[in-house]
Amino acid sequence: MNEVNVSAPKGAVLATVIVPFAGLVAAIILSWGKGIDLVSFGLFAALSAMRILGITVGFHRLLTHKSFKTVPWVKVVLTVMGSMAIEGKPFVWVADHRRHHVHSDTEEDPHSPNAGRSGFLGALKGFVHSHIGWMLSDSRSDHARYIPDLMRDRHVSFVNRHFALWSALGLIFPAALGFLIEGTWTGALLGFLWGGLASVFFVHHTTWSINSVCHIFGSRPFRSKDQSRNNAFFGYLAFGEGWHHNHHAFERSAKHGLFWWQPDVSYLLIRLLEALGLAWDVVVPSQEEVKAKLSSGRSG
Ligand SMILES: [Zn+2]
Ligand SMILES: [Zn+2]
């Protein structure tokens, strides 16, 4: 019995792609003509920021790459926040992402837009595959091989086991807030749609773009075999994750925006946790290490 190695059925994956989109459409229809109200926008922005930080700081920099250490309750909170993005259980997410780093842009990479593709049609198919299609494939990342540490971690295992609960809470919470602030059922519905489904839709496509767009469009200042790119648009939108080529060059670094013109909100949160005594052993490469890896002495 290896329950933890079972990924979500394809129907459930399809539903997590389609339902948030339907929620976004419903939210737009309900707000049509009068524009999005302040409460709905606030819930959308706050819940989206929470979900993105859960993925970038929690799932990615803490669980996948061990870029810093923290206390158990912060690890649990960040992993719950990431689970609320509804893009897979933490075990599955981390196993897939570690496999991506081991096999970047080869046939073994779970979501390369480039491996085995050529021509315009190949590029288009590669984009769709890396953005969404790979989640519907039969390819699985072996948990025993990729995440033995997380399977032993009782805090992460706890969050992983109750993934459905966190997913649901992430939708119920903004609905409850909408109801409390507006005092009407319409307020609850708008909170559910804007802070719940529309936010999940936005966070999905923003973070999935790191797999697709950030392996196609952008600069590559470092020597590397993979096709990862630094993409400024997603550097801003995905709270620093768009500096994805930097990340492939320095996988364990807690800081992805390695140069002063590359803002990295996720790293700011890690620095804040560090200042509060809640994070330590924060991994960041030295200036010399960064310079030594630049391919031509230029940077960007
Ligand atoms: Zn990574
Ligand atoms: Zn990558």
* Cα gap 198→178, rounded to integer Å: 14
Nearest ligand, CA 247: 1
298, part of any domain: no
**pLDDT at residue 225 in the model:** 87
How many angstroms does the Cα of residue 30 sit away from the middle of ligand 2? Answer: 37
50, part of any domain: yes
How many angstroms does the Cα of residue 94 sit away from the middle of ligand 1? Answer: 9
Q: What is the CA radius of gyration of the chain?
A: 19
Nearest to 2 by CA among 189, 148, 179: 148
287, part of any domain: no
**pLDDT at residue 117 in the model:** 78
253, part of any domain: no
**What number is the average pLDDT over the span 263-269?**
98
pLDDT tens digits, 186-235: 999 999 999 999 999 999 999 999 999 999 999 999 998 899 999 999 99
260, part of any domain: no
How many angstroms does the Cα of residue 269 sit away from the middle of ligand 2? Answer: 22
How many angstroms does the Cα of residue 7 sit away from the middle of ligand 2? Answer: 21
Give 30's contacts (C-beta < 8 A, 6+ positions apart). Answer: 189, 190, 193
Nearest ligand, CA 96: 1
Domain count, the chain: 1
Residue 2 has pLDDT above 70, yes or no: no
How many angstroms does the Cα of residue 257 sit away from the middle of ligand 1? Answer: 13
How many angstroms does the Cα of residue 253 sit away from the middle of ligand 1? Answer: 10
pLDDT tens digits, 157-191: 999 999 999 999 999 999 999 999 999 999 999 99
How many angstroms does the Cα of residue 171 sit away from the middle of ligand 2? Answer: 29
pLDDT tens digits, 20-71: 999 999 999 999 998 899 999 999 999 999 999 999 999 999 999 999 999 9
Residue numbers of the domain that contains 105 = 3-229
How many angstroms does the Cα of residue 280 sit away from the middle of ligand 2? Answer: 25
126, part of any domain: yes
282, part of any domain: no
177, part of any domain: yes
Residue 5 has pLDDT above 80, yes or no: no
Nearest to 163 by CA among 98, 88, 58, 93: 88
